[in-house]
Amino acid sequence: MHTTVFLEEAVDALSVSKNKRYIDATYGEGGHYQQIVEHGGIVLGIDRDENQVEKGKKRNHTVLKGAFADIADIARKALWMPVAGVLFDLGLSMEQLAKSEKGFSYKKSDEILDMRLEKKGMTAAHYLAGASTDELQNMFERYSEDPISEDLAQTIVKIRKQRPIQRVGDLTNVIDVILEKQQRSDNEKVYARIFQALRIVVNDELAQLEKGLEGAIEIVERNGSIVVISFHSVEDRLVKQFANKRKGTMSMQVMNVAKKRPLRSFERSATLRIITKL
């Protein structure tokens, strides 16, 4: 199992009580789930990725396939409410990056640009093949926040008339051409932003997150916690706005993990927010 982001801090933020119920809304490889169990909590895991669900069941973990947007319905059907806390870890697991063969990682040049967390909907390759220049530019500007966005959108539309952009290497090659023209050398940072932006749009992740937060508030008991680990400023902004709109019914704080210990390389872009239902 990979090293889980903010493993101890996220579970501490939940203030786990023995024999109380919790939901790990993004089961992944089960790191947070197991940590909650070790603190005495009883956990239900949810994941959109069927492979992750099956692996969880083999570990004797209680994991259901589903999107966290449907967390309230899932909890009701499982008779798993109210709960003392809910955890959202919005990053991909190392296993998904390394072994999913879905094109999540910019380092896997031969993989098809799929990026779907479930076996339905439009792939990233199909999106790149059909979206207009304006749609691509708006998407990259909003979700990657990188200055390359306008040039990238225009170049994708130009190149796809000559050949399809179907594999990871096809997209990184397009990015390389633009960065060379702009005399930029931060290729890997740009790859990471662009690939994350594509994953967000393919999986409708921001709409999923907002619905998930609304559902979590519905099923969490009074004084219960919703802990969110985000890796993108757009995601973090949505979480912050969600809580700010509901002042009086919930409070929110940010845990500054860097003040407590040195951050691991994969944790540096992460933000941990704690929402408490009043």
CA dihedral 224, 228, 229, 232 (to 10 degrees): -160
**61, two tokens:** 């973990």
Radius of gyration of the chain (CA): 19
In this predicted structure, what is the pLDDT of residue 2? 45
CA angle 27, 67, 234 (to 5 degrees): 85
Q: Name the residue with tokens 């396939």.
A: 65
* Strand pairing report for 271-277 and 250-255: antiparallel
In this predicted structure, what is the pLDDT of residue 142? 95
Tell me the mean pLDDT per 10 residues along the chain, length 278: 72 94 95 96 95 93 96 98 96 75 93 92 97 98 94 97 97 96 90 94 95 97 96 91 91 82 73 94
Secondary structure class of 153 (helix, strand, coil):
helix
What end-to-end distance do the CA atoms of the chain give, in Å?
35
What does each C-alpha distance from 170 to 110, 175, 227, 247 come to in angstroms? 9, 9, 37, 46
The one-character DSSP state at 114 is: -
Beta bridge partners of 112: 167
The one-character DSSP state at 258 is: G
Question: What angle, 0 to 180 degrees and rounded to 10, lies between the N-to-C axes of helices 149-160 and 168-181?
Answer: 130
Interatomic CA distance for residues 132 and 61, integer angstroms = 44
**120, two tokens:** 């339905």
**86, two tokens:** 């809910």
In this predicted structure, what is the pLDDT of residue 231? 87
Q: Name the residue with tokens 């999913």.
A: 100
Output the pTM of the full model. Answer: 0.89
In this predicted structure, what is the pLDDT of residue 266? 66
In this predicted structure, what is the pLDDT of residue 100? 81
Is residue 58 packed enough to be buried (19+ CB in 10 Å), middle (13-18) or exposed (0-12)? exposed
In this predicted structure, what is the pLDDT of residue 262? 75
In this predicted structure, what is the pLDDT of residue 3? 56
